[in-house]
Amino acid sequence: MDGEPTNTATLTVAQAAALAGVSPKTIYRAIEDGRLAAACLGRSTALRTTPQWITEWIESSRYSPKPQDAPTNKTARPRRPRADRQLPGYLEA
């Protein structure tokens, strides 16, 4: 039962991480960045969040791939040698 939520009203960072399937460090970063809502209880830094806030955070983080650009028929141009490089003997003019 370690790490599993026992109180559905509020979750510790470890419980929130277990619920979301991420590490506690990810939860802390999301809270710090303002992407995940959390409450600081008492004088200590006891952070708590709710299952609803976790769900909202996951939904707002939904990934939608962008459509691929149409392939182009451009041929790659040969790269020009840098000025500080010496050309191999067969390429010297």
- Enter the pTM of the model: 0.59
Tens-digit pLDDT profile for residues 71-88 = 566 666 666 666 666 656
Tens-digit pLDDT profile for residues 34-66 = 999 999 888 777 899 999 999 999 999 888 877
Domain limits at 41? 13-60
Tell whether 65 is covered by a domain.
no
Task: Report pLDDT for 72.
Answer: 62
Token pair of 36 as six digits: 């995940």
Q: Identify whether the C-beta of residue 25 lies closer than 8 Å to the C-beta of residue 36.
A: no
Tell whether 75 is covered by a domain.
no
Q: Identify whether the C-beta of residue 27 lies closer than 8 Å to the C-beta of residue 36.
A: yes
Task: Tell me the Ramachandran region of residue 65: left when phi exceeds 0, alpha when psi lies from -120 to 50, beta otherwise.
Answer: beta
Tens-digit pLDDT profile for residues 8-29 = 589 999 999 999 999 999 999 9
Q: How far is CA 64 from the centre of its chain?
A: 14
Number of domains composing the chain: 1
Task: Report pLDDT for 55.
Answer: 93
Tell whether 72 is covered by a domain.
no
Q: How far is CA 61 from the centre of its chain?
A: 9
